[in-house]
Structure 1
Amino acid sequence: MAQNLIQTQAQKQVQTQRLTQQQMLVVHLLEMPLTELEHSVAAEIDDNPALEVAGPDDVQPADDMHESVSGSDEDDDFDTVNEREERESALDQALSGIGMDDEMPEAAQYVASNNQNADYEEITYGDQVSFYDRLKEQMVDVELTPREHEIMEYLIGSLDGDGLLRKDIATLSDELAIYHNIDASEHEIEHVLHVLQTFDPAGIGARNLRECLLLQIRRRDKSEMRSMMERVITECFDEFMNKRWDKIASQLGIDTDTVKTVHNELLKLNPKPGSSLGETEGRNIQQITPDFIVDTADDGTVSFYINSGNVPDLYVSDSFTDMVKSYQKNKSKMSRSEKEALLYAKEKVERAQGFIDAIKQRRHTLYVTMKAIIDIQKAYFQDGDESDLKPMILKDVADKTGLDISTISRVSNMKYAQTRWGTFKLRHFFSDSVKTESGEEMSTRKIKAALKDIIDNEDKRRPLSDDAIKDKMNESGYPVARRTIAKYREQLGIPVARLRKK
């Protein structure tokens, strides 16, 4: 029996969320690191005459953006900021539907609490110690006079993002004399530079590509291959740069197979040694401006404040505000041109007030996020031991602050915290957890630290296999699977046992 199809119309109420222009501004400012925010504020001041910079007499008393966290485990309550958090709830709900690509993958969040065998893809953020700090750490391993120490620090600060020294020695000598009142000869600077060139990674402090490659080659054990590689760079550098391997073979009197082997070995060298230290480390520390300053006192008290940098205190121009009030009282008597002036002034005042509110909301969101991170990772901020970093994902901080996960993600991206132990991206403080074979939940960061310690202390004449490392990890209280050992070893950039043998 055929059925008749009837077309009908019906009303249906659907609730959708769209960000207002003000909410979009808050999101935009929230994503910015401090240096970018400074440029944005300066541009807004230039563009909006109703937005003015407060003078010394206009500065308001300090707000609650400075926080101390005691050495105890009690959580500080957030009652003083609940009212503002309620105002943010609408924004957080709207944020939950956009930009979720910034969030840690759901798979990683799920396995953080449910995976039984750690056989999953881990989110790895790496070591975020700054380039400058990493090289300064190595200064304690060499003997330097106080004068040489100052010269060394200046040389490190003069390296470019690739880890090379582009300035010539004469220029460095002049700068030391002008800026640091150190009358250092070129010979003295050259001596300190040679010490810097012994630091890791190999090639650091080279003045050009040729020197960079030679520094790396000369770190190798003496062999025919090392000798051949050195000859290519010293005797045939132009041919090497132009990839004329046939000419190199002819000039050095070697056969095709040998030249191919030398070629492959040379390709393993790094022309940009600074970049090998990671995203944060491969650039000059002066280009990294921390958004948070965290201080740890000797008694274990952790305090922090938000770095305002060159962002000034802002207020809405009194003249524009008075203009709007005056015009609104006399609307009926106003001419067309006066009404246009009123609309212009009103738009500028509203935009200025909206920008000021967005800046305040950004500071508040950064404040509660950093406070929550310190509350969770208090032990790490007290002693700087990475093994004390607890498992922590975006959701943990979101639950503690009452903010949306995507909001926490935006705060954590491209923001840096300066601590007593170095300058780190906020992502450094996040770590997944893994359930060991005994069922215990443990931080992957802690497991990796134990793994690296075992390998660092092994007998390099008889390096440990992954199975042997697994046994030692079990003895140390880290019962993890062999495949987990292999995966974490690869993520740490540590080769297999036969390649570690010396």
Structure 2
Amino acid sequence: MLKQSLQQKLLQKLSPQQIQVIKLLELPTLQLEERIKKELEENPVLEEGSNEEEYQEENYSDETPEKDKDKDEFSLEDYMNDEDTPSYKLSAQNYSADDKHEEIPFSGGTTFHELLISQLGLRILSPEKHALTEYLIGNIDEDGYLRREIESIVDDLAFSMGVETSYEELVELLRVIQDFDPAGVGARDLQECLLLQIERKGKFNPDVKLAQLILKKNFEEFTKKHYDKIQKRVGATDEDFKCAVDEILKLNPKPGSTFSNPLDKASPTIIPDFILEEEDGDLLLSLNSRNVPELHISRSYSEMIEDYSGNKKNQSKENKDAVMFVKQKLDSAKWFIDAIRQRQNTLLQSMNAIIQYQREYFIEGDERKLRPMILKDIAEITNLDISTISRVSNSKYIQTHFGIFSLKYFFSEGLQTDSGEEVSTREIKKILQECIDKEDKKKPLTDDKLAVILKEKSYLIARRTVAKYREQLNIPVARLRKEL
């Protein structure tokens, strides 16, 4: 049986312009520069610079001879799809697969894998074994490890390349690679990597012999720092055992990283989105717009649309299509400029609220002055949505007179002391860090002891909370912090 019913629903739909603002809001300065460059390339109606600059250029061009002016003039026919103009040239992205892109070549240092191949050239091997060894080198990662199973490589060679080999033959060739520099290269796990390095140090050194025994027979206990158990098992004196452990700690767990090419992994560049300056107690905030150009609508295109709109009679279909194309680009440019403006306003509004909330901290730069602050606090000050504040704080940085900080750094939960005073969890983490930095490494502080110390400082925190904060600081448990 069919029934009809009337329902009323409240739905919120975002317009394309609002979506564009949201997307731009999430971008840090560096990515915003790339986004603007892309828009300038795709939309001929959008231009760099201020309208005043364009006006001055136009006045200057009025003084040039008529013959030269004609060269710069263009008409709507330039955008019409005639026989001489391929259709792809009218699209938003005027690129062809055949277009030639000149790139500036640059030279880099020898890569890690090139270093290994060059050492292979010094070995006398048959062409077949040389090819297999080179294939093994290709499977070694940037840390210097062969993390793939030998059996899997045997199968790959058989099925993908039609090359028959065996587990034993590849292991024999891997031994050749493990004799290369840097020591430890070609290892299949950390234990083998350290053993390969320690073996090169000389078998007649008693410290090396003991270190080799520890790695070979007691590796798992060593990784867990069960030093007392290992020392008792190997029957070494305190001094001999300490010297052997020191030998192990000098080894490189990632031998490949020593020879890695800095061009392979470029370190990320942090460009601040905000610049905060302090002058006589006043805080002056500005957006970092160093490489973000001013944008405006091309006056020539606007005038062209006005001319053709005022004369709609006797227009061909091609003219109308061209006018529609330019009009779409004009609207798109207006939306983009407006979205950029809204982004800048929202960023400044949000950052000013954060500075207002954390004023004491930004004046002095003392971490202990940071107040507990969550997204909701800034949302209430600015009358913006929490999701907007989240987008503002994500991947954004501010340059202050005491360093560059991520905006997320200023947000933290709060706890109360036994006197009822609210403090930031960041302050508690700093105290934890200081306690662990000053601890006796032979008897490191357990989480229980750290909880007691915090209680003595009026911070009532459970042991499990201490453990949580310690993990957030990337500090291992007491047993793993132990040193001899």
Count, aligned residues: 322
* Counterpart amino acid of residue 58 in structure 1: E
Rate the CA distance shift 1:269–1:421 in 2: closer, same or farther, 3 A.
Answer: farther
Separation of aligned partners in 2, 1:496 and 1:238: 31
Q: 1:320 aligns with which of 301, 305, 310?
A: 301
Check whether the contact 2:418–2:460 (CA below 8 A) recurs between aligned residues: yes
Structure with max Cα Rg? 2
**2:27 paired residue among 8, 32, 45:** 32
Residue number in structure 1 paired with 2:163: none
TM-score normalised per structure 1: 0.56
Task: Give the alignment of 1:419-434 within 5 angstroms.
Answer: 419-434=400-415
1:404: how far off? Answer: 1.0
**1:292 Cα deviation from its structure 2 partner:** 0.6
Matched residue, 1:224: none
Q: 1:439 to 1:500 in 2, by over 3 A?
A: farther
Task: Output aligned runs, 1:279-428, within 5 Å.
Answer: 284=267, 287-297=269-279, 299-428=280-409
Distance across 1 between alignment mates of 2:179 and 2:418? 54
Listed one character per residue, the Cα deviations across residues 210-230 of structure 1 (whole Å, up to 9, x for unaligned) are: 9xxxxxxxxxxxxxxxxxxxx
Conserved 8 A contact 2:24-2:339: yes
Where do 5+ consecutive residues of structure 1 fail to align?
1-5, 61-165, 169-207, 211-232, 275-281
| 1:494 shift after superposition | 3.4
How many angstroms does 1:273 deviate by? 12
Find the aligned partners of 1:363 and 1:261 in 2 and give their Cα distance.
Answer: 59
State how far apart, in whole Å, the 1-side matches of 2:47 and 2:331 are.
13
Alignment of 1:246-285 (within 5 A): 248=196, 258-259=215-216, 261=218, 271=254, 284=267
Partner deviation per Cα, 1:39-67 (whole Å, 9 max, x = no partner): 1111111111111112594399xxxxxxx
- Tell me the residue number matched to 1:15: 10
Is this contact kept in 1: 2:45–2:329, CA < 8 A? yes
Specify whether residues 272 and 344 from structure 1 end up closer, same or farther in structure 2 by C-alpha distance, changes over 3 A only.
farther
CA deviation map 1:174-200 (0-9, x unaligned)? xxxxxxxxxxxxxxxxxxxxxxxxxxx
Aligned-pair CA distance for 1:269: 5.8
Q: Does 1:483 align with 2:464?
A: yes
Task: Classify the secondary structure of the residue corresponding to 1:331.
Answer: coil
Instruction: Name the SS for the 1:312 alignment partner.
Output: coil
Cα–Cα, structure 1 residues 283 and 403, in superposed 2: closer, same or farther, change >3 Å?
farther
Q: In the TM superposition, what is the alpha-carbon distance from 1:26 to its structure 2 partner?
A: 1.0
Matches within 5 A, 1:196-215: none
Letter in 1 for 2:12: Q
Distance 1:273 1:390, change over 3 A: farther
Secondary structure at the aligned position of 2:465 is classed as: helix
Give the 3-state SS of the residue equivalent to 1:241 in structure 2: coil
% identity of equivalent residues: 41
Deviation at 1:424, TM superposition (A): 1.5
Question: Using the alignment, how far apart are the partners of 2:12 and 2:377 within structure 1?
Answer: 25
Q: Which runs of 5+ in 2 are unaligned?
A: 56-107, 111-141, 145-177, 204-208, 224-247, 258-264
Amino acid of the structure 1 residue aligned with 2:373: M
Partner deviation per Cα, 1:418-460 (whole Å, 9 max, x = no partner): 1122112111111111345665432110111122223333455
Aligned partner letter, 1:259: K
Say if 1:438 and 1:479, in contact at 8 Å, map to a contact too.
no
Question: What do the CA deviations read for 1:85-122 (whole angstroms, capped 9, x no partner)?
Answer: xxxxxxxxxxxxxxxxxxxxxxxxxxxxxxxxxxxxxx
SS of 2:284's partner is: strand
- Cα separation, 2, equivalents of 1:464 and 1:425: 31
Q: What code does the residue aligned with 1:314 have?
A: L
Residue identity matched to 2:275 = I
2: CA distance, partners of 1:56 / 1:343 = 24
Query: Are residues 481 and 242 of structure 1, via their aligned partners in 2, closer, same or farther at CA, if it must alter by over 3 Å?
Result: closer
1:58 aligns with 2:53: yes
Correspondences of 1:113-124 after superposition (within 5 Å): none
TM-score by length of 2: 0.58
Higher relative contact order (CA 8 A, sep 6+): 1
**Equivalence for 1:73:** none
Corresponding residue for 2:38?
A: 43
AA in 1 matched with 2:403: G
Structure 2 counterpart of 1:445, from 426, 437, 450: 426
Distance 1:19 1:269, change over 3 A: farther
For residues 349-374 of structure 1, the C-alpha deviation after alignment (integer angstroms, 9 at most, x for no partner) is 11111111011011011111111111
Contact 2:297 2:333 in 1 (8 A): yes
Q: CA deviation at 1:10?
A: 2.3
> Does the CA contact (< 8 Å) of 2:143 and 2:256 recur in 1?
no
Mapped to 2, the partners of 1:337 and 1:449 lie a distance apart of: 69
Paired amino acid for 1:289: I
The whole-number CA distance in structure 2 between the counterparts of 1:317 and 1:454 is 62
CA contact under 8 A between 1:38 and 1:309: conserved in structure 2?
Answer: no
Tell me the distance in 2 between the aligned counterparts of 1:455 and 1:493: 12
Residue 132 of structure 2 is matched in structure 1 by: none
Candidates 174, 179, 186, aligned match of 1:241: 186
